[in-house]
């Protein structure tokens, strides 16, 4: 696994800026320092966050309380959508847009910013995410 190259997202400055400005990058941190200081474009902070009652599982899992989930990496998101994978911990979301709409709690503000985007900007951000 360590020998495999990390997926290289397409360069898309406008999409990256929308992602950052909406607050997504606070949890889906675009670049982590990997082994040997190599940059890994994983789009996660690897931390637990409370995403509100809408996503709460109703039972504690390990050290996480019922509403807490570990930020999943978003790398390879486009490929996984093309494979027909579903999103979120219980696979409830069929699309990226739907997954973002389920965000609440600590991610409520980012969700609100996403919903407030003009349709063209939202499409731009979704295209960026599909390119990861
Ligand atoms: C407070 C931290 C936080 C912020 C801010 C946040 N997310 Fe997330 N995101 C998460 C967590 C935690 C999950 C996993 C939730 C689950 O599995 O139920 C998640 C899941 C996702 C998923 C589904 C990934 C998968 O593999 O299932 C997508 C897509 C996503 N986020 C995109 C975004 C976008 C776009 C934004 C900005 C509008 C955003 N997120 C803002 C923490 C965050």
- Whether 17 shows a pLDDT value over 70: the answer reads yes
Tokens matching residue 40: 């890994």
Judge if the beta carbon of residue 28 lies within 6 A of ligand 1. yes
Per-residue model confidence as pLDDT tens digits over 27-83 = 999 998 888 888 889 999 999 999 998 998 766 667 677 779 999 999 999 999 999
123: number of Cβ within 10 Å: 12
Judge if the beta carbon of residue 72 lies within 6 A of ligand 1. yes
Q: Left (φ > 0), alpha (ψ -120 to 50) or beta: where does 63 sit? A: alpha
Judge if the beta carbon of residue 92 lies within 6 A of ligand 1. no
Instruction: Give the per-residue pLDDT at 61.
Output: 67
Q: Using CA atoms, how far apart are residues 2 and 26, in angstroms rounded to an integer?
A: 26
Lowest mean pLDDT among 15-19, 58-62, 77-81, 123-127: 58-62
The ligand 1 atom at the shortest distance from the C-alpha of residue 77 is 26
Tell me the CA end-to-end span of the chain in Å, nearest whole number: 19
User: Separation of 76 CA from ligand 1 center, angstroms?
Assistant: 14
């Amino acid at each position: 696994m360590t020998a495999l190259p990390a997926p290289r997202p397409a360069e898309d400055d406008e999409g990256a800026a929308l992602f950052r400005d909406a607050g997504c990058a606070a949890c889906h941190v675009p670049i982590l320092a990997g082994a040997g200081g190599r940059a890994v474009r994983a789009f996660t902070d690897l931390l637990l966050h409370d995403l509100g009652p809408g996503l709460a599982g109703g039972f504690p899992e390990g050290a996480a309380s019922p509403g807490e989930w570990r930020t999943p990496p978003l790398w390879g998101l486009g490929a996984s959508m093309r494979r027909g994978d579903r999103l979120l911990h219980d696979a409830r979301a069929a699309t990226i847009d739907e997954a973002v709409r389920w965000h609440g709690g600590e991610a409520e503000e980012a969700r609100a910013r996403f919903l407030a985007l003009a349709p063209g900007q939202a499409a731009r951000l979704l295209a960026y995410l599909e390119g990861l």
